[in-house]
Amino acid sequence: MTSSYLHIDRLIKRFDDFTALKGISLDIKEGEFVCFLGPSGCGKTTLLRAIAGLELPSEGQIVQNGRDVTVLPPEQRDFGIVFQSYALFPNLTVADNIAFGLINRGMKKNHAMEKVREWLCLVDLDGYEDKFPAQLSGGQQQRVALARALALSPGLLLLDEPLSALDAKVRIHLRHEICQLQRKLGITTIMVTHDQEEALTMADRIVVMNHGVVEQVGTPEEIYNNPASEFVAQFVGTMNFLPANVVDGDQLKIEGITVPSPQDVKGRHATLALRPEQIRIGKPSEPGLGATVKTIEFMGSFVRLECQLRDNSSLLQVDISAERAKQGLPARGEMCTLSWDVVNSQVFEGEVA
C-alpha cells in the first residue's frame, strides 16, 4: 500500500498493436498540482483518460484514495474534468450548466442554486447566472466549465489542455486563477499540457513524457536545472548542445579546448548542455570558446545573441540580461569568447541525435 492520493502502477495501454503507455508508474500526493507535459502523441491524454475511466488500461493498476479504480466506469470515480473545448451544454444557462451535476445527484433546486452562486463568485463570474455559453468569451466559458467540474466537490480535478484554445493574454490570466483556486481548495489536480511554460509556472511537479514513458518527474526547478535526459533538456526551455570528446572521465575537449565536465562520463563522446543564460560572453582575448556573433535580438528584459563557434558550424544561443548588456556587447560579425561555470552545465554520454 502507498500513502499517495493517486497511485499508478505499471500502467500499459495498447491500441491494437500500438502501445500508447508503456508501463507508467507514478504517485501523486494529496493536494498536489501535477502537470503531464510532453510532445504530441506522447500519451499524456491517454494517461489522463485512463485516470478518468474514459480509457480502459490493458495492464496495470490505478488506485485513487486507497480505492482500486482501474476498471471502474467514470461515474463511479471521484473526479471533475475540464476539456480544452469547454464542453458546456449550449442550451442551458450558466447556472443550469453548473447545477446540472448537483441536481442529478439529488440536490434540491434552491440548494443547488445557492451552490451555483458560491461557485460563480469563486471563478469571478458573479452575475452571469442567466447567460448562455454562446454569450460568453472563451475564458469565461472555461471558468464556467471549471465551476461545473468543481461543484460536486470531487477529490481530483483533471484538466485536459484547458487553456490551449484561449488567446495568450486570457491564457496567462486564467493560469493564475486556476492556480489560486487550486491552492485555495487544496484539491489534487492533474493538468495535461504540451506547453512547457504552462507546466513550469503552474505545477508543483511535472511529469515529462515521451513515447509512452515517463522521462522525468520533478519540481519545475529540478526539471529545468537538472534534466534527467537529453529529451527533457531539449523539450523544456532552450538548451545548447555541444559535442565533446572525453579526455578523461571529468575533462572534455570542445573545439581543441579542454573544459571540466560537471560529472564523470564514460565512453569517448559526450554532449555538454548549457542554458543560454548560463553562458558569459567575453572579449576575444579572454579565455573561452572562440565564436562570432551572428545575430542580436533585443527581447525586452534580456538580449539574445546567436554565436557561431569558430571551428565548426554549431550555433549557440546566449542570453544576456538587459542590465548587463548595457555594459557593452560585441556587435554583429565581431569575435568573442564564450565561457560558463562548470556547475551550471550538464553532460550527457554520447552524442545528441
**Residue ranges in contact with ligand ATP by CB under 6 A:** 15, 18, 20, 38, 40-46, 194
CB 345 within 8 A of CB 262: yes
Distances (CA, A) of 153 to 12, 63, 86, 336: 29, 19, 19, 59
Strands 213-218 and 205-210: antiparallel
CB 41, min distance to ligand ATP, A = 4
Indicate the angle between helix axes 138-151 and 109-122, nearest 10 degrees. Answer: 130
CB 42, min distance to ligand ATP, A = 4
**Based on CB atoms, which residue is closest to ligand ATP, 197 or 334?**
197
Say which amino acid occupies 248. Answer: D
Taking CB atoms within 8 Å and a gap of at least 24, the contacts of 114-121 are 115/151, 116/147, 116/151, 119/147, 119/150, 119/151, 120/94, 120/95, 120/147
**Based on CB atoms, which residue is closest to ligand ATP, 23 or 243?**
23
**Based on CB atoms, which residue is closest to ligand ATP, 36 or 100?**
36
CB 35, min distance to ligand ATP, A = 12
- State the sign of the Cα–Cα–Cα–Cα dihedral 246, 247, 253, 259: positive
CB 37, min distance to ligand ATP, A = 9
CB 338 within 8 A of CB 291: yes
**Based on CB atoms, which residue is closest to ligand ATP, 42 or 259?**
42
CB 15, min distance to ligand ATP, A = 3
Length of the chain: 353
Q: Which residues have a Cβ under 8 Å from the Cβ of 198 and sit 6 or more positions away?
A: 35, 163, 171, 175, 191
Say which amino acid occupies 333. Answer: G
CB 231, min distance to ligand ATP, A = 14
**Based on CB atoms, which residue is closest to ligand ATP, 206 or 347?**
206
**Based on CB atoms, which residue is closest to ligand ATP, 212 or 330?**
212
Residue, CB closest to ligand ATP: 45
CB 38, min distance to ligand ATP, A = 5
**Based on CB atoms, which residue is closest to ligand ATP, 55 or 255?**
55
CB 164, min distance to ligand ATP, A = 9
**Based on CB atoms, which residue is closest to ligand ATP, 158 or 336?**
158
Q: What is the Cα–Cα distance from 268 to 244, expressed in whole angstroms? A: 9
Distances (CA, A) of 319 to 48, 295, 322, 324: 36, 12, 9, 10
